[in-house]
A and B are shown apart, each in its own frame.
Chain A
Amino acid sequence: MRVYVDGRPVEILPGMKVRHVLIQLGLCVEGPEEPPLVRDQWGNLLGMDGTLQEGALLFLDHKEKKEGP
């Protein structure tokens, strides 16, 4: 299935999660660096293990990453 990150299409398997999208984009999900925050189209923060819907619109939020949730 396809989701969109900042407008860019990303292809994932059903059941894959927010972290798989970040993996595909080459963004950190393991290790010391903080990954960007991921928000849905309504501006809500999503957990790394959040399941995605076909056509979901996601947005990366790098600005707040130092503050953390």
Chain B
Amino acid sequence: MSRLIVLLFLLISAVSQAETRQVRIVHFNDFHGFAQAHRPLGAQEELGGVAWLAARVRQLRQEVPSLFLAAGDMIQGDNWANLFKGESVVRLLNQMGLDAMVLGNHEFDFGQEVLRQRIQEARFQVLGANLEGLQGVLPHLVKEVGGIKVGIVGILGADTPVTTHPRNVSGLGFLDPAQTLLAQARELSPKVDLLVALTHCGYGVDRELASRVPQVQVIVGGHSHTRLDRPALVGNTIILQAWEHGKALGILDLWLEDRKITRWEGRLEEIRPSAGKPDQEVQELVEHYSNKLKEILGQVIGHSLVDLDGEKVRTQETNLGNLVADVLREVAGAQVAIINAGSIRKSIPKGPISMEQVYGALPFDNYVVGLPLRGSQLWEALEHGVSGKGGGRFPQVSGLRISYAASAPQGSRLRGVLVNGRPLDPEATYLVATNDFLAAGGDGYKGFPRALGEYQQAGGALYGKSFLYSDPGRWVRDILVEHIRKATPIFASVQGRIQELEER
């Protein structure tokens, strides 16, 4: 009898042990094509470097049955990604054996045709349950890992249509994230052992999703670039996010018994090239595209008939300042454009123009913004600009002729403003193109965010029409490259747009 009891005990123990299974989720988000290790502002050493990240992923996946997930905004951002419209990143993710990725808002930045091409190239599943109309995107993926059936639902951020240019999402439908996730959870929960939401909504929204859809056991998130050193817990839902730019890798180990998580451990690991060896194959791929990048940057994209002056931009109107301001005005469909001299860093000499020269002249990741300003606000912005002669805030303009007295007291230097040949009307509203740096109030241009605030508080429309323009997925330097390709040979001149008066 006692032998029978011992046997029964051993049998029960064996069965219960067999039911506890482990799965590991390895994840990153908001990579933005930062393939090379780099020293972020404020960091003491280089972080990131996708070849080192890949080596760590490989190690982690060898230890435990794993899923490797990407939570969006992977293919746009750094030149390493942008100059190949994300192809380099998709090849990288293929090489790394990614299982699934949710679309982030910046995945749309190169347009739908390019995105469809990238999806075709992907050997991983691209997810987006609340997206309608894009071929190749599935709502969810069910994958068996280490004997555990995992359901992964992709959820895009509700702000996707307003955080890329509208043309990039034209004709697509975006459904409510929480309602979609709830519907998906109801469908999938009975069929899987573990339900994961792969989201690009931001950490705050992920917390709301966890409250509203408690069936979801794990949320792997992105968008807010949140560094969750330890997973957060909302109800029984574990929330993860792994910072940005491949500087960290998220790891979550789960033990499941009868479809319930009985134990979990999660952490972020910083990726430091100084602390390990790179994955050789991924490193070769990174170098392959880095070499191609150098070739592309060196290629001639056009020809300039004159020297384009990027050196005197802080003290006077220059032809390069005019060229850049004109391009911004045209792209935004604005009446006028103002940019800061500090956004232009180098001249482009007469003769053949390479992309590298344009990138050297406009090195910052600025994008075009168009916003409505009253005439009085436009005057105030220009006054602020000319009062900063010699500094980065000095303006370069388009659609405007301004005169100022440099010797007059600061704040009262502006003498006259003509908008497309007519005197500025302080009460009229003008659509002004600028870059995102000035639109955010950079270089002390406080009037821009103030005008933006008034406009948004008024309901985001003037005279029944929305005047805002924002294209956060295309850098000004790339727009100038496109312009030079189309308009070559380039001729730009100083036209008396900014006149300094000699007053005593």
Using a CB–CB cutoff of 8 Å, the interface residues on chain A facing chain B are 1-2, 10-16, 18, 20-21, 23-24, 26, 29-30, 34-35, 37, 40, 42, 44-53, 56, 65, 68-69
Q: Are A16 and B436 in touch, CB under 8 angstroms?
A: yes
| A2 vs B453: C-alpha distance when bound (angstroms) | 8
Chain B residues with CB under 8 Å of A69's CB are 40, 42-43, 47, 227, 247, 270
Chain A residue at smallest Cβ distance from B248 = A69
Q: Are B163 and A15 in touch, CB under 8 angstroms?
A: yes
Q: Are A12 and B227 in touch, CB under 8 angstroms?
A: no
Q: Are A44 and B449 in touch, CB under 8 angstroms?
A: no
Q: Are B41 and A29 in touch, CB under 8 angstroms?
A: yes
| A49 vs B444: C-alpha distance when bound (angstroms) | 21
Which among A16, A23, A51, A69 has the greatest number of chain B C-beta atoms within 10 A? A51
Count residues of B near A (Cβ-Cβ below 8 Å): 50
Q: Are A51 and B159 in touch, CB under 8 angstroms?
A: yes
Chain A residues with CB under 8 Å of B205's CB are 53
| A23 vs B222: C-alpha distance when bound (angstroms) | 23
Interface string of B246-289 (1 = CB under 8 A from A): 01000000000000000000000010000000000000000000
| Distance in Å: Cβ of A43 to nearest Cβ of chain B | 10
Q: A13-B439, A16-B440, A50-B224 are in contact. Are A44 and B203 (CB under 8 A)?
A: yes
Chain B residue at smallest Cβ distance from A55 = B204
| A29 vs B441: C-alpha distance when bound (angstroms) | 13
Q: Are B226 and A13 in touch, CB under 8 angstroms?
A: no
| A42 vs B270: C-alpha distance when bound (angstroms) | 21
Interface string of B442-463 (1 = CB under 8 A from A): 1010000110110010000000
| Distance in Å: Cβ of B361 to nearest Cβ of chain A | 16
Q: Are B30 and A47 in touch, CB under 8 angstroms?
A: yes
Interface string of B64-89 (1 = CB under 8 A from A): 00000000000001000000000000
Chain B residues with CB under 8 Å of A23's CB are 437, 440-442
Q: A13-B468, A14-B470, A23-B440 are in contact. Are A37 and B243 (CB under 8 A)?
A: no
Chain B residues with CB under 8 Å of A11's CB are 449-450, 452-453, 456
Q: Are B232 and A35 in touch, CB under 8 angstroms?
A: no
Chain A to chain B: the 7 pairs with minimum beta-carbon distance, closest first: A47-B225, A50-B225, A11-B453, A47-B244, A15-B163, A20-B440, A24-B441
Chain B residues with CB under 8 Å of A13's CB are 369, 371, 436, 439, 452, 468, 470
Chain A residues with CB under 8 Å of B124's CB are none
Chain B residues with CB under 8 Å of A14's CB are 159, 162-163, 470
Q: Are B203 and A15 in touch, CB under 8 angstroms?
A: no
